[in-house]
């Protein structure tokens, strides 16, 4: 069993070492992701897992994230603070991390889907964009006339 020191903000590390599967929740969670992928393939069902709702020891979340790795897509969203949307090395498995304005993580999800909903342009925003573009073009036309 490998060991990992507890990371502490500011780069300091306590002299405490922990096993990488202390709560034994790492493997079950990864299996949950596997079952979610199976559901996506067979039934087209999407799943979301809230990483903050599961008891994890220091270092275990990092273990999960490093196991999932990084894939081809990495998106950054600037909306009410930064959000990072990364596809993992397993296509269809995404890690979505939301930060607040102070760059603190406010929530982190594993989404098993073709594309996380938050990446899609939203209907309301598209309607607003249409109105805005129409207005801009009308104004331009008036200016040219």
Tell which one of 4, 37, 48, 65 touches other proteins (CB under 8 A): 48
Q: Token match 């269809």: residue? A: 92
**With binding defined as CB under 8 A, does residue 40 bind other proteins?**
no
Helix (H) or strand (E) holding 6: strand 3-7
56 binds other proteins (CB under 8 A): yes
How far is CA 138 from each of CA 19, 109, 133, rounded to the nearest angstrom?
64, 42, 8
Which residue from 26, 57, 95, 112 is in contact with other proteins, where contact means CB under 8 A? Answer: 57
Name the residue nearer to other proteins (CB basis): 89 or 122.
Answer: 122
Q: Cβ closer to other proteins: 83 or 88?
A: 83
- CA dist 13 and 62 (Å) reads 15
């Amino acid at each position: 069993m490998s060991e990992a020191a507890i990371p502490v903000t500011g780069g300091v590390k306590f002299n405490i070492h922990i096993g990488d599967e202390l709560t034994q929740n790492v493997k079950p969670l990864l299996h949950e992701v596997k079952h979610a992928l199976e559901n996506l393939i067979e039934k087209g069902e999407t799943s979301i897992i809230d990483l903050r709702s599961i008891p994890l020891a220091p270092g275990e979340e990092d273990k999960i994230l490093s196991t999932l790795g990084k894939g081809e897509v990495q998106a950054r969203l600037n909306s009410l603070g930064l959000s990072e949307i990364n596809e993992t090395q397993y296509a269809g498995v995404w890690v979505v991390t939301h930060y607040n304005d102070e760059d603190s993580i406010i929530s982190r999800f594993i989404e098993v889907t073709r594309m996380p909903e938050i990446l899609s342009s939203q209907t309301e925003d598209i309607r607003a964009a249409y109105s805005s573009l129409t207005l801009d073009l009308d104004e331009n036309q008036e200016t040219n006339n």
